[in-house]
A and B are shown apart, each in its own frame.
Chain A
Amino acid sequence: MKFTWWKIVTVLLLVYTMVAGFLNDVPRLAILNESIRNTYFHVPMWFGMIILLGVSVVYAIKYLKNPTLRNDVVSTEAARVGLLFGILGIITGMGWARVTWGEFWSNDPKQNAAAIGLLMYFAYFVLRGSFAEEQQRARISAVYNIFAYAALIPLLFILPRLTDSLHPGNGGNPGFGTYDMDNKMRLVFYPSVIAWTLLGVWILNVKSRFEIIRQKLYENVA
């Protein structure tokens, strides 16, 4: 493997996040107490998911313009890793919710919207599974990928904002705000987002190369 610059940056930033995340000072807020450190781990999962799903959409568009194996593989594997980040984000979110809000699944609009978004991408993989022929599968799932992303963005960003405007009381609770950050936290938060996203990209890199090799092998054998 190549010890590229960004892989080294990933490892360094991840180590920094883990160490500084626990040892640095954090603001002392009621209800949240130490769990505010979860911001370094839970929130980057979501950013990573959006970015990886964005990469997936970009490669889906590229596939429709230029139907090569590589575009299809990168698009699928990016959706897979993005989905993984999404699942991890929801699980960490549920744990955090249990501690701060009292139950695993309070009816928070962002939680519900995130779950629906994940359902969309699970449906994407079911769709992929129901085609036998390669070209058709790649083309139709690329179309659905773009459609799902176009439906996902309003879901995740606009809808929670609208529902929050109907329930203004939620803004007061610091546990809900999630982003009560000061400069000390930002010093660890930004590198954390970069680190987890780059880790996702590294995993995507390895998985795509592996998948391409596998396809080539099947072509040679069959």
Chain B
Amino acid sequence: MLLREVLYLMQKDLVLEWRQKYAFNGMLLYVGSTVFVCYLSFKLRGGILDVPVWNALFWIIMLFTSVNAIAKSFVQENKGRMLYLYSLVSPQGVILAKIGYNTCLMLVLATICYLFYSVVIGNPVQDNLLFFVTMLLGAFGFSTSLTMISGIASKASNGGTLMAILSFPVIVPMLLMLIKLSKNAIDGLDRASSSDELITLLAINVIVITVSYILYPYLWRD
């Protein structure tokens, strides 16, 4: 029952997005312009990008993209639609569907960002599979934490700034793990040495999803 609700809501969001493509195109443009600005600023320096800088820059771009993309997910729901949904489905269904939809969105954006990034700035990655796993975990992690924060921020009056302030401290531990993991992937290190970070990332994701699942019904009552 819950699964059907979740799938239905995700489908609704996807269809809405596909019809207008407004937010998605906005995000694509954001990714494109950020990567291009970075390219220009680093090229001016005249050198090739070091691996740590490449890595850090990639994840910073991903971070800002995800904050912008996911901030829109709750903020653009108007009151009328929320009231309609309130009478139909359970709050857990809504939050899980939002998390699922944001994960798909983040995955697509991350892949596009990675492709564009490697075309424009270069691609020193040696262990591609581990890097893709990292991106997957990253997209999933960003979407879980940020969806909940976006839900909280949407209830307040100054949603935009609040979203940024609330999200950064919560995202940082995940970001640190991701940067370390992707650095290992780029250097082509042995997979076993990254197992610590993988497990921690999975654990953080599980904690965040559980807490969001339990807490969202309290946000819902309005």
Contacts and interface: CB of A to CB of B under 8 A. Distances in A.
Verify that A and B bind, or say they do not: yes
The DSSP consensus for interface residues of chain A is: helix
Interface in B172-222: 172-173, 176, 180, 196-197, 200, 203-204, 207-208, 211-212, 215, 218-219, 221-222
Nearest to A136: B155
Interface residues of B, number: 32
A194 interface: no
B158 interface: yes
Interface string A108-137: 000001001101100100110011100010
A120 B172 CA distance: 10
Q: Most chain-A CB neighbours within 10 Å: which of B157, B180, B218?
A: B218
A126 B170 contact: no
Interface string B147-176: 011001001111000100110111011001
A143 B152 contact: yes
Contacts of A64: 218
A127 B173 contact: no
Contact of A140 (B152, B173, B176): B152
B218 A130 contact: no
Contacts of A158: 200
B173 A126 contact: no
A60 to B, nearest CB: 10
B158 A130 contact: yes
B172 to A, nearest CB: 5
A162 B200 contact: yes
Interface in A140-170: 140, 142-144, 146-148, 150-151, 154-155, 158-159, 162, 165-166
